[in-house]
Amino acid sequence: MIGLIAVTSTVSAQEIKRSLVIPYEGESKVKVRHSMDMDGMIMNENKDRLPDGCKEISGELQFTVHAGRKYAARFPGKMFAYDQQEWEVEPCSRITVKFVNDDHIRHQFMIHGLPEYLYPPTGMFTIEVTGPGSKTATFIVPDEPKTFLVHCELAQHMEKGMKAQMKVAQGDGDIASIPGLTPVENPDSYRVDWTASRWVYLVLAMLAGLGAVLGFRFYRRDKAGQ
């Protein structure tokens, strides 16, 4: 059971930092490992528990991942993005991610599809940073070829570009709609059916605009001649 903690404004950020362990009553009886403070949170960090099929850690990898609006500038129509859209790793790798938020709003580095018996309750590993700053956490990938979705789950952040993929052993395919990497599954469409009436409206609008410009010029000329 999760307890709710009431914090007054007189308590310092350092004083309210605390680690939460939330029990998960699944078949594996593995507990969700959830730590949080005023700067963000980490869910399901795993430094030592091996996935089934992994006899040992195959390698140690360290990634620094940046998130922010400026990384979306190269993707037309997008507002948020990571500085990278794909990572390739070997099976049974232990991966340490330093997640850097360059914006003044929350962003997440969230991976879906990991083994639920290690990352309960739904196979997620998450780092969240509330504003400018960083957090670092570690997880271990399984031994089979798989492509994992990496995204920010805050409302509209993924839809606006904060989406990537991580491939284990070259993966089992690509995830659609990753900016600059894979084809868009549901592309935006701004098609206009140019019927005769729409052409008439367009011509009338252009003539009205031209008339307004000419009328203003004649008005200014008359005022100057007075």
Phi, psi of 35 (to 5 degrees): -115, 145
Residue 29: name the closest of 114, 112, 117, 115 by CA.
117
Average pLDDT, the chain: 87
Give per-residue pLDDT as tens, 181-197: 999 888 777 677 889 89
Each domain of the chain, given as residue ranges in start order, spans 19-168, 192-226
Question: CA distances (Å), 101 to each of 32, 54, 106, 116, in order?
Answer: 24, 32, 8, 27
Class of domain 19-168: mainly beta
- What count of other Cβ atoms lies within 10 Å of the Cβ of residue 14? 8
- What is the average pLDDT across 93-120? 97
Phi, psi of 134 (to 5 degrees): -150, 160
Give per-residue pLDDT as tens, 57-67: 999 999 999 99
Burial environment of residue 212 by CB neighbours within 10 A (0 to 12, 13 to 18, 19 or more): exposed
Residue written as token pair 């903690």: 5
The reply to whether the predicted model has a pTM over 0.75 is no
| Rg value, the chain, Cα | 26
Distance separating alpha carbons of residues 140 and 83, to the nearest angstrom: 22
